[in-house]
Amino acid sequence: MSAKERAVGAAGGAAEQVEAVAAVVRGDAALLEDDLAEFLGSLTAPATVASQSVYEGALRRSLYEPVADAVGSKVGQEALPPTADAPGGNRAPLRPSMVYWAYRNYRGFPHETGSEAFSADMAVVRRAAVAVRVMLKAFVAIDDIQDGSEVRYGEPALHVTHGVPLALNTGSWLIAAVLRHAADPAVVDSLVRAVENGFTGQAVDLSTRTAETRAELIAAPLEERAAYWESLAALKTGTLFRMPLDSALAGLRVVEDEQYVLDAAMRQLGLSSQLFNDLTDFVPEFGGGRIHEDYDGLSNRVFLELLDQDSSNLTGERLKAYVLGHPKLESTLRALAGEAVRLKREAKESVYRVCRSDLSAAYFDLTIERKGHLIDRLHETLQQRSGA
313-329 pLDDT, tens digit each: 777 778 888 888 899 99
What are the Cα distances from residue 175, in Å, to 131, 207, 234, 243, 279? 9, 24, 21, 13, 30
- For residue 155, list its beta bridge partners: 152
- State how far the Cα of 374 lies from the Cα of 369, in Å rounded to an integer: 8
Instruction: Residue 120: count other Cβ atoms within 10 Å of its Cβ.
Output: 9
Q: What are phi and psi of 240, to 5 degrees?
A: -65, -30
Question: What pLDDT is attached to residue 48?
Answer: 56
Nearest to 198 by CA among 243, 248, 168, 247: 243
∠362-365-371 over CA atoms, to 5°?
A: 160
Listed in sequence order, the residues at least 6 apart from 1 whose beta carbon sits closer than 8 Å to its beta carbon are: 9
Using the predicted structure, report yes or no on whether residue 361 has a pLDDT greater than 80.
yes
- The predicted model scores a pTM of 0.86
Q: Is 333 exposed, middle or buried (0-12, 13-18, 19+ CB in 10 A)?
A: buried
Q: Is 320 exposed, middle or buried (0-12, 13-18, 19+ CB in 10 A)?
A: middle
∠295-169-207 over CA atoms, to 5°?
A: 30
CB 187 within 8 A of CB 196: no
Read off the pLDDT of each residue in 335-352 and give the average, rounded to a whole number.
96
Nearest to 233 by CA among 193, 211, 202, 263: 202
What are the Cα distances from residue 56, in Å, to 65, 94, 269? 12, 33, 44
- Coil vs helix vs strand at 156: strand
**What would the pLDDT profile of 182-240 be if each residue is shown by its tens digit?**
999 999 999 999 999 999 999 999 998 888 998 898 889 999 999 999 999 999 999 99
Report residue 285's pLDDT band, with 50, 70 and 90 as the boundaries: confident
Report residue 308's pLDDT band, with 50, 70 and 90 as the boundaries: confident
Region of poorest pLDDT, from 38-42, 87-91, 162-166? 87-91
Residue, of 299 and 154, whose pLDDT is higher? 299
Nearest to 339 by CA among 261, 250, 240, 226: 226
